[in-house]
Amino acid sequence: MNKFLWATLLAVILVVFGTYGYNKWFAKASGNDISIEKDNADALNVDIDFGVGNLYIQGGAPEWVSGEFSYNHKRLEPKVTYKTRKDVGFVKIKQGSGTIFGFNKRNVDNEWDLQLTNEIPIDLNVDMGVSKSTLNLEGLQLNSLSIDSGVSDSTIDLSGEWNKGFRADFDLGVGDVTIILPKQTGVRVNVSKGIGRVDLKDFTKQNDGVYVNDAYSGADTIIDISLDIGVGDVKIKTAE
């Protein structure tokens, strides 16, 4: 009986360490392409839920959404859905669970490179967990923008020409964030912060917690930003 128990215990230990060793040393990167083809939608609602790794988003997609995923464990495989309701296309891209036995954030290799269409208006919602992110949103037709960041070093580029104003809500937790804003478009920033720091040297204080750029006065197009900062440094600068 004792021999049987020892043999069972040994088998369990081998499985445990075998699983850990596989995840840590032998998991190979795999990849997937994404392409959501154009249909009759007049606008898109794009919801991106990214957990851990490197995230890149930009415009210029040949379809509604294009791009590539690269990850080193099946559990990280993103789930992509698309449906239409009336004239709006709803895109949902959600990362799979990174909570894997014997597999943690230190040995995660996960990267998304996504392109969105410039051709129709987009309501864009991005949820970033523990990540390094670059969002180059110049050229998109944004109806609204919402970014929720956990622990992330991010660059969010809103430079370029905007023919229509929109509202942007940034909820930034921990990390260093750079937000690049257009020079010729009016911008108003409403800041609420904890112990984080924000650099607004190119902006003028209008009211308590409210800052505007030089183009704001008399501007026909306004980007209205609500900025909630937790812990970290946020640098807001004007594009050259």
- Classify residue 60: in a domain, yes or no: yes
Instruction: Identify the pLDDT of residue 29.
Output: 40
- Classify residue 124: in a domain, yes or no: yes
Instruction: Identify the pLDDT of residue 220.
Output: 93
- Classify residue 2: in a domain, yes or no: no
Instruction: Identify the pLDDT of residue 73.
Output: 83
- Classify residue 44: in a domain, yes or no: yes
Q: Which residues pair with 61 in a beta bridge?
A: none
Instruction: Identify the pLDDT of residue 8.
Output: 38
Q: How far apart are CA 221 and CA 166, in angstroms?
A: 9
Count the neighbouring beta carbons within 10 Å of the beta carbon of residue 53: 24
Instruction: Identify the pLDDT of residue 105.
Output: 53
For 151-164, the pLDDT digits (tens) are 989 999 999 999 99
pTM: predicted TM-score of the whole model, two decimal places: 0.83
Q: Which residues pair with 167 in a beta bridge?
A: 144, 224
Domains contained in the chain, number: 1
- Classify residue 71: in a domain, yes or no: yes
- Classify residue 20: in a domain, yes or no: no
- Classify residue 228: in a domain, yes or no: yes
Instruction: Identify the pLDDT of residue 26.
Output: 31
Q: Which two tokens stand for residue 137?
A: 């949103």
Instruction: Identify the pLDDT of residue 32.
Output: 86
DSSP 102-165: TB-GGG--EEEEEEE-SSSEEEEEEEEEEEEEEEE-TT-EEEEEEEEEEEEEEEEE--S--SS-
Instruction: Identify the pLDDT of residue 121.
Output: 98
Instruction: Identify the pLDDT of residue 31.
Output: 61
- Classify residue 4: in a domain, yes or no: no
Instruction: Identify the pLDDT of residue 104.
Output: 53
The residue segments making up the domain with residue 169 are 29-238
Tens-digit pLDDT profile for the chain (240 aa)?
444 334 433 343 333 334 333 333 232 344 689 999 999 999 999 999 999 999 999 999 999 999 999 998 888 899 999 999 999 999 999 998 655 444 455 577 899 999 999 999 999 999 998 999 999 999 999 999 999 998 989 999 999 999 999 999 999 989 899 999 999 999 999 999 878 889 998 899 998 899 999 999 989 999 999 999 988 899 999 997
Instruction: Identify the pLDDT of residue 166.
Output: 98
